[in-house]
Every structure is written in C-alpha cells, then in structure tokens.
Structure 1
C-alpha cells in the first residue's frame, strides 16, 4: 500500500501542485517533495525501509503510519 501511495503522490503531485520539487537521499531510502497547492506550501519525506521503535498506531491515524513526516506553512 505504501508503494502505491508514494507512486500516486509522486506521479499526481506535479500535475496538481502549483510548484513541485522532488528529491531523494543518496541511498534512495528517503524520498522528499516540496510543493504548494492552493497557495499552501508543504514539505514531505517518506522512508522506504525502516524499523519502527513503536508498535501502537497513533490515535486518529487511519492510514499507514510511522514512515513519513510533513510540515506545512501553517505548522
């Protein structure tokens, strides 16, 4: 599911976003994107391979969790 989600974001992002910059770490394990959509800026990074140090799903999280983080212009 994660790979499908990443593919959807990376392929659909440029078509939907006002501005889009994608990059990855030298190892290819971390993929990041910075973009604006409807005037709101956001940066997001996804880890492809990781070992979580936690086992409980965060409250209110309905999708895959723990392998990505994002920060927007509003915080």
Structure 2
C-alpha cells in the first residue's frame, strides 16, 4: 500500500489491511469469540469477530482488517 492511499484511508476513518505485517491469525478458544492477530514484530491484537462471519475465510479477512488505533498498537 502506498503512503498516499494509506493516508486517505486514515483520514476517511476506513479500515486498513496490513497483510504484509501479519504473521498469523488464530482462534482464541479460551476467550470465545476472539481471534488473535500476531504481527511479524510479535505484537498481538485481539479482535472479537462478528457473528456474521459465515466461514473461516470471512474470519480471516476480518482478522486482517485493522483500525487506526489497532494499527498504532500493532506496527
């Protein structure tokens, strides 16, 4: 993602996908319904996933969607 597009998404308050920074996405069954998204730097963001995730693919895509606040913690 180029810097200009990144800034446009931030200003618009839209979710940011940072796929290149993600190492793994896993279900956290001890804290259902939570998925853990781990960055390559080792930081973990816990996300409560939507009830509307109809498949593992939907959950995976939802896990890759990071808000601005989460991005600051994640990167």
* Same topology, TM > 0.5: no
**Which structure shows the higher helix fraction?**
2
**Shorter-normalised TM range:** 0.3 to 0.5
Rg larger for: 1
Higher relative contact order (CA 8 A, sep 6+): 2
Q: TM-score, length-normalised on structure 1?
A: 0.34
Q: TM-score, length-normalised on structure 2?
A: 0.34
